[in-house]
A and B are shown apart, each in its own frame.
Chain A
Amino acid sequence: QVQLQESGPGLVKPSQTLSLSCTVSGGSISSGSYSGRYFWTWIRQPAGKGLEWIGRSYISGSTDYNPSLKNRVTISVNTSKNQFSLKLTSVTAADTAVYYCATEVVPAANQYGAFDFWGRGTMVTVSS
């Protein structure tokens, strides 16, 4: 059973870069499962609002991003630390949210799959 834990600063100043990490336990970030490949994903949720998919990375380095964030976001995988990370540049108050890391399990025949495992989320506030 994969377990995920987000970490990073809870407060970021406007115009700076938001950086979060997600530590994977209960399995190797380099492996998948019998049910599919693992894509390492970030999702966020502003207070009182809905979920927003940020993007995902595969172990190969291949990434997919939300077009509305694509110019500011980078998701990368660090196999040596069994972690993956999120960097979001030029943040504003609109980036204030709970940030979740999640594992998307993609069956072999599909392009996308279900978010089977989630971290508990970490609150990030953008404020001076």
Chain B
Amino acid sequence: SYELTQPPSVSVSPGQTARITCSGDALPKKYVYWYQQKSGQAPVLVIYEDSIRPSGIPGRFSGSSSGTMATLTISGAQVEDEGDYYCFSTDTSDNHRVFGGGTRLSVL
């Protein structure tokens, strides 16, 4: 099987920069997608193909990928950014498509 590894939690103060990482062996060759999930709600796409922000997502969200690690960066995090963040990708053969374990972001 294939695994994507995320830190369980990240905590920042409002206005600070939050960085959430996602590591996986196939990331040098495969895109990463990032989803935000607030309590009791369905996930929402915030970054696709490593670094592209969908329309309607605030500019403070950005993504990057280098080697076996992808990073979601929230510059100037707001209280409303609190929630769980999941990365999603696939192994090199596209046989195992997986979410990372999720990172809970606290902004307080």
Contacts and interface: CB of A to CB of B under 8 A. Distances in A.
Contact of B86 (A51, A100, A118, A119): A51
B1 A67 contact: yes
Given A112-B90, A113-B48, A118-B43, A51 B97 contact: no
Give the contact-size bracket for chain B: 20 to 34
Nearest to B48: A114
The 8 closest A-B CB pairs, nearest first, are A118-B42, A114-B48, A51-B99, A50-B102, A53-B97, A50-B101, A114-B45, A114-B33
B42 A66 contact: no
Give the contact-size bracket for chain A: 20 to 34
Contacts of A111: 90, 94
Interface of A: 50-53, 64, 66-68, 100, 110-116, 118-121
Looking at chain A's contact residues, the main secondary structure is: loop
B25 to A, nearest CB: 17
Of B1, B41, B88, B94, which is in contact with the most chain A CB atoms at under 10 Å from its CB? B88
Contacts of B48: 113-114
